[in-house]
Structure 1
Amino acid sequence: MVAAASPAEVARGLAGRAARAPGGLENSGGEPPPRITHGGWFTLAVTAECPLSRTSLLRSLALLGSAGLACAHPGGSAKTGDGAGGAGPVELKFAWPDGFQSHVLIAHEARRSGAEPTGLIARQRMVAEKQGSEVRVSTRDVAARGNEPDLESIVKINEALVQVVAPDGRFRRAEGLDQALAAIKTATPEEREKARQALIRSTAFDWELMVGAWAGEQLAPDQPKRKQLQGYVPHIVAVEALLEVEYGLEGRVPCTEQETERRCVQLSYRASLAPGDRPATLDRLRRITTSEAAKATPEDVHADIELLLVTEPETLIPHRMTQRERLRLRLRLAEGRVVETEDRSEDTYLFSDRELSAPEPERKPESKPEGRSGDL
């Protein structure tokens, strides 16, 4: 799901990170957040103020796990599907049928240094409509619950944005930007324009991960391809960055746990900040945080994205997807002290041709059976 912050919000966020890490990960002896691994969102803790109870959220995440989202972690030693020995090259083609739509169930977890974990459970409907020589992909009927900050704005942004793509799957442009910008707080025309560019980047990159990187490719197991891509700093979409990408075929797998035929493929995608562009990326990060520079000045940044996608090679219709992002910042405070902060997130997606629902929240014993107002 797209969540674009304005430059001012990024600046406040950096100051907040520094405030939450008074001694820094290295200086205070504090432990860094645990590595979010496959299934890691089962341990998500949610604050009591959240309208979605912790127990209910965990049950919702368990539903995703039982539905087959617990994929092998990218970079792990275990092979999935046929592996290198049993699968030959695979040609990938974008060919969504006319009137294609998919019901999507999403679980999101974020862990930030010194802060309580946040998360959400959401469902939405992805709709593709052909108009002339283009395909318009939009999000409808979004329903979300959780304690992720600005949840209402996230929903509005995602319902507003439209991905416009070519028949071969190449991304062309984002539409619905003005409506999406209405949900983002900006103080000046310059901030508004930067937020617009951030929305365009995030919309294009979402398509890159699901379809754009794969359409028209021929991939073979254990033969990853590499490229550079203009994107953004993971977790800071307002900051443009050059990414080094490695992507490839993991193997052939069943599309769902209920199937035995291996008619889908599992694809992996790993992106990190290009080393040669890191100084320029750091400069861009500093420029948009000048209003808070007296509190925390970025000195170094490391970030990466990992993705596993299970999709049909003949159409690129997705079935399951796991995306993880990590951001590590070194910040110099006004008094000269240096702290390090770390953000990690994991998003899991289940796609289906029929409507999906998260489990209903747990009720107190005296609750009436028909009281289902909290359900997604």
Structure 2
Amino acid sequence: MMDRTLAPASFPVKNFNFRNSRKIKLNGDIDGLIIPDKQHSICSIEIIFQSGSWFEKNPGISFLTGKMLLEGTKTKNGEELVSAFEYMGAHIEIQTTVDDSRIRLFATQKHIHSSLSLLQEILFTPSFPTQEFKVIKNLKAEQIKMQLAKNTYFASSSFHELLFGADHPYGRCINKKEIEERSLFEIKDFFRLKFQNRPKVVICGDIDENIIEKIALLLVNINKNDQHMPHFSIRPNHHHQTIERSDSVQASLRIGAQTINRGHPEIHKLTVANKLLGGFFGSRLMKKLREEKGLTYGVYSSITHAKNASYWTISTEMKIDNAEHSLEAIHEIITELAQNYPSLSEVIMLKNFLRGKFLSSMNSILDVASMYSLLFVNGIPQHFLKTSLETIDTIRPKDISEMIHKYYLNADKSSLSVR
């Protein structure tokens, strides 16, 4: 009979078979990445423009521009666009972030050409209808109002302001009034002058040369505005700040600091160390704060890599009376892990978790496309993934403590309590 008190045997991930990909140039000047997969007759096309809120003149412009693109073209209204994609079993989504705007199209091989024709309409003949613009603005304004009423959202937004400064795109928090002030003229102007800035393309799935040619033809008329990256100074506040809210029923706590980016030689070790500190359910923070002290239901540590900055954050929610005790406990846990090596059994458990997490993150072709796209857009070679796997196998308890000491204990930290 199986002894269920013993964990199953685990093994290093050796000779992992990464999917092939190749870089291309479309129309001579647009960087592209192709990830072929003939097993399933699906295709995905992602077009990434450097036109996020980093490039906008006033808050909310890039978000509203992305939303308005699916509200109609010169020949179809928003409902007709949705129906046309649904009829072909296709799906389109547009996402805007601080750094970029992304258009993702998913379709079967059978309908990819017709789907691309619809995408061409969206990119080159958007109608920007007035009534739909009013509706989207009202919905977004109400959403912001509801989000800011929640301590969790309010704390995260305020904490980013502490880390970067209120005038930096990563620290700026859009409010209801700013959305309400946006005009349709601003949206049209941003689309015309800045939206199609420096495109990159990731093509994935059952792709043939005809599809690549069709995408190239679609992009030949892109208005590659070649907008220069505006410069913003980072002005962090390295102090603890407490914000009192009269309607709070619990406290939200955030601690963090600027850190190294994906190109740094120690990033893989730091990533593993962060996981042990607070990146999974068996982490130090979770054990100490939740299981042993009963201060919170959950506490997490994460590393965020944006295009122009990287930072780590520890976040948790608790009863208002436990806020100060929790902050002290987090600093104690960081100090303890920095000064005392974790046990070998603890590191082995972490390694097993990370191996499983890596394998599940590369499970489907769309998972792979998402990962490869992330590396491609940020100019990171694909051997980054191989090095990550190797680090999981070779990292020592000593390395973990050194990373925590160097990038957490000794960092110029900011912290925020909202209650």
- Scaled to the shorter chain, the TM-score interval is under 0.3
Q: Which has the higher contact order (CA 8 A, sep 6+)?
A: 1
Greater helix share, 1 or 2?
2
Greater strand share, 1 or 2?
1
What TM-score comes out, normalization by structure 2 length?
Answer: 0.23
What TM-score comes out, normalization by structure 1 length?
Answer: 0.25
